[in-house]
Structure 1
Amino acid sequence: MQLASCDKVLRRVERGACYVAAGLVFIMIFPTTLDIFFRYIMEEPLPAIFQLTEFMMVGVVYLGIAYVQSLKEHIRIEMATSWMPQWGQELLDIFGYLVGLLLFAIITWQSSRLAWEAWVTQDYTMGIIHFPLWPSKSIIPIGCGLLCIRLLLDIVLDIQKLRRPRIPADAVQRS
């Protein structure tokens, strides 16, 4: 499979994960609104609403992280690199992607282990309502794994950009 088609498939998966994250934000509105109503109008908060929205927040953060990278919308300090030539900026991007890939590969590996452990032991929250922990713990390696695939693809695409012949800037100005 060529890189362009890999990128296209990955973008669809990332967009789908982002839609799930957006859906979770939308779903979080209802229990939060109900909790506010019961807390301030009825003076009796609903039990475990805070924990429920906490678990959904994990999906909001981790399911959207790869999509944000595909758009190159993570925080960048361009002031530090704007003076560099294009190839220098691309080298710095590749270095940053490699560091991110290393860190998120470790996070994916460790969070996968913890999610599996939560599944096997049937780990759940303490409190009035016992929520299983494995669903929210499973979302972390899924989102971080998608980000690792995106970073790997970005590294390969940027290396390809570096290998292309460049036209000197002064040659473009003369013509």
Structure 2
Amino acid sequence: MTEKLSADHEQQGEQTATLPETFVEAACRWLGVGILLAMLTMISVEVFMRTVLNYSWEGTDEYGGYLLVALTFISLSVTLARGGFHQMQLVRIRLSPRQIIVLDTVMHVLSLLFMIILVWQFSRMGLQSWRNGDMSMTAIRTPLWMPRAVMVIGSLALCYTLVRFIISGIGKIRAMRREA
């Protein structure tokens, strides 16, 4: 019995949907790498300056936070395209391959609807920041539309990847119907 469940689990693991990388995911991946390197450099310089020069730049915390938010949103589409999000294996292990594809497609549609609402709200917030000239409450006075624009860009990239998965899922469902 354990061997059967283990074999089924491995089969379901192979069912984790991935898609070939497009320009959008590749751009997000490389942008994410750049953001991560910028964070690493900024933090390393800050540690050096504190240790050796006994000086701290006040922008490290602020820009580190902005870079972390940017990395989070920019990496969403790459993570989805590579099958990196958690899945409910407890449920999936009991489903047929067709049911898994249907479940994934439904979840991608729901996720797309949710992300469209987020893009709309992030866009409104960013435009409002632009119009009002909102700045951060620090001495650096960073315009807040900049980090908010990155949230919109990352969310749009995720929407693009979700649409690709939905189209792929519908194609697989149609192909399975033809075979049956």
Q: TM-score scaled by structure 2?
A: 0.81
Give the C-alpha shift of residue 100 in structure 1: 0.8
Q: Is 1:52 the counterpart of 2:52 in the alignment?
A: no
Give the C-alpha shift of residue 44 in structure 1: 3.4
After superposition, where does 1:36-51 map in structure 2 within 5 Å?
A: 36-51=47-62
Q: Is 1:21 the counterpart of 2:38 in the alignment?
A: no
Match of 2:76 in 1: 65
Q: Is 1:99 the counterpart of 2:106 in the alignment?
A: no
After superposition, where does 1:1-175 map in structure 2 within 5 Å?
A: 11-165=22-176
Give the C-alpha shift of residue 114 in structure 1: 0.7
Give the C-alpha shift of residue 15 in structure 1: 0.9
Give the C-alpha shift of residue 41 in structure 1: 4.0
Give the C-alpha shift of residue 21 in structure 1: 1.4
Counterpart Cα distance in 2 of 1:69 and 1:123: 33
| Residue identity opposite 1:53 in structure 2 | G
What are the superposed Cα offsets for residues 44-64 of structure 1, whole Å, 9 maximum, x if unpaired? 322121101111112211111
- The answer to whether the 8 Å contact 1:11/1:67 transfers is no
Structure number with greater CO (CA < 8 Å, separation at least 6) is 2
Match of 1:4 in 2: none
Give the C-alpha shift of residue 154 in structure 1: 0.9
What are the superposed Cα offsets for residues 55-81 of structure 1, whole Å, 9 maximum, x if unpaired? 111221111111111112111122311
Counterpart of 2:22 in 1: which secondary structure?
helix
Runs (5+) with no aligned partner, structure 2: 1-18
Counterpart of 2:142 in 1: which secondary structure?
coil
Q: How many residues align?
A: 161
- The answer to whether the 8 Å contact 2:70/2:150 transfers is yes
Runs (5+) with no aligned partner, structure 1: 1-6, 169-175
Give the C-alpha shift of residue 17 in structure 1: 1.6
Counterpart Cα distance in 1 of 2:134 and 2:29: 27
Give the C-alpha shift of residue 25 in structure 1: 0.8
- The answer to whether the 8 Å contact 2:109/2:162 transfers is yes
- The answer to whether the 8 Å contact 2:98/2:176 transfers is no
- The answer to whether the 8 Å contact 1:124/1:132 transfers is yes
Counterpart of 2:157 in 1: which secondary structure?
helix
- The answer to whether the 8 Å contact 2:116/2:159 transfers is yes
Counterpart Cα distance in 2 of 1:115 and 1:76: 32
Counterpart Cα distance in 1 of 2:176 and 2:107: 23
Counterpart of 1:164 in 2: which secondary structure?
helix
Identity of aligned residues (%): 20
